Structure 1
Amino acid sequence: MSDTWNRGVPDGDSAPSAELRTDIPHPARMYDYYLGGKDNFPADRAAAAKVVELLPSAPAGSRANRRFLGRAVRFASELGIRQFLDIGTGIPASNNTHEVAQAVAPESRVVYVDNDPIVLAHARALLKGTPQGRTAYVDADFRDPGSILNAPQTKELLDLSQPVALLAVALLHFFADGDHPLDLLGQFKAELAPGSVLILTHGTGELMPPEIARSIEAVYTQSGLNITSRTHDEVLRFFDGMELVEPGIVPVHEWRTDGHEDDRVMTREEVAGYAGVAIKRG
Structure 2
Amino acid sequence: MPNEPRPVPDIDTSVPHSARVWDYWLGGKDNYPVDREAGDAVLRLLPGIAASAKHDRAFLGRAVRFLVSNGIRQFLDLGTGLPTVDNTHEVAQRVAPSSRIVYVDNDPLVLAHARALLTSTAEGACDYIEADIRDTGPVLTGAARTLDFQQPVGLMLLGVLNHILDDEEAQSIVTELLEALAPGSYLVISHTCDATTDELDGEAMRQAVREVMERGGTPICARSPEQIERLLSGTRLLEPGVVSCSRWRPDPSPWQEPEVPHFCGVGALD
Q: Note whether the superposition's TM-score is higher than 0.5.
A: yes
Decide whether aligned partners of structure 1 residues 183 and 126 sit closer, same or farther in structure 2, where only a CA change above 3 A counts. closer
Aligned to 2:24: 33
Q: Distance in 1 between matches of 2:215 and 2:60?
A: 27
Report the residue type matching 1:218 in the other structure.
R
Report the residue type matching 1:150 in the other structure.
T
1:250 aligns with 2:239: no
Aligned to 2:222: 229
TM superposition shift of 1:252: 0.6
Question: Which deviates the most, 31-40 or 114-123?
Answer: 114-123
Aligned to 1:197: 186
1:159 aligns with 2:148: yes
CA deviations 1:168-226 (Å, max 9, x no partner) are 00111111016711111111011110000001101112133343123102112202232
Secondary structure of 1:111's partner? strand
Q: Distance in 1 between matches of 2:165 and 2:23?
A: 22
1:209 to 188, 201, 208: 201
Q: Which runs of 5 or more residues in structure 2 are unaligned?
A: 1-7
Q: Distance in 1 between matches of 2:100 and 2:184?
A: 16
1:145 aligns with 2:109: no
1:79 aligns with 2:64: no
CA contact (8 A) 1:22 1:43 kept: yes
CA contact (8 A) 2:205 2:261 kept: no
Report the residue type matching 1:162 in the other structure.
Q
Report the residue type matching 2:148 in the other structure.
D
1:186 aligns with 2:175: yes
Aligned-residue identity in percent: 43
TM superposition shift of 1:78: 0.6
Q: Which runs of 5 or more residues in structure 1 are unaligned?
A: 1-15
Matches within 5 A, 1:69-148: 69-148=60-139
Q: Distance in 2 between matches of 1:185 and 1:250?
A: 19
Q: Distance in 2 between matches of 1:63 and 1:210?
A: 20
TM-score normalised by the chain length of structure 2: 0.92
Q: Distance in 2 between matches of 1:199 and 1:182?
A: 14
CA contact (8 A) 1:107 1:130 kept: yes
Aligned residues: 259
Q: Distance in 2 between matches of 1:170 and 1:255?
A: 15
Report the residue type matching 1:128 in the other structure.
T
CA deviations 1:3-38 (Å, max 9, x no partner) are xxxxxxxxxxxxx9x821111111111110010000
Question: Which deviates the most, 42-51 or 252-261?
Answer: 252-261
Aligned to 1:5: none
Computed over aligned residues only, the root mean square deviation of the Cα atoms, in angstroms, reads 1.6
Report the residue type matching 2:96 in the other structure.
A
Spell out structure 1 runs of 4+ moving beyond 3 A. Answer: none
CA contact (8 A) 1:204 1:229 kept: yes
TM-score normalised by the chain length of structure 1: 0.88
CA contact (8 A) 1:173 1:228 kept: yes
TM superposition shift of 1:265: 5.6
Report the residue type matching 1:240 in the other structure.
S
Q: Distance in 2 between matches of 1:117 and 1:179?
A: 27
Secondary structure of 2:113's partner? helix
Question: Which deviates the most, 45-54 or 220-229?
Answer: 220-229
CA contact (8 A) 1:161 1:193 kept: yes
CA contact (8 A) 2:46 2:205 kept: no
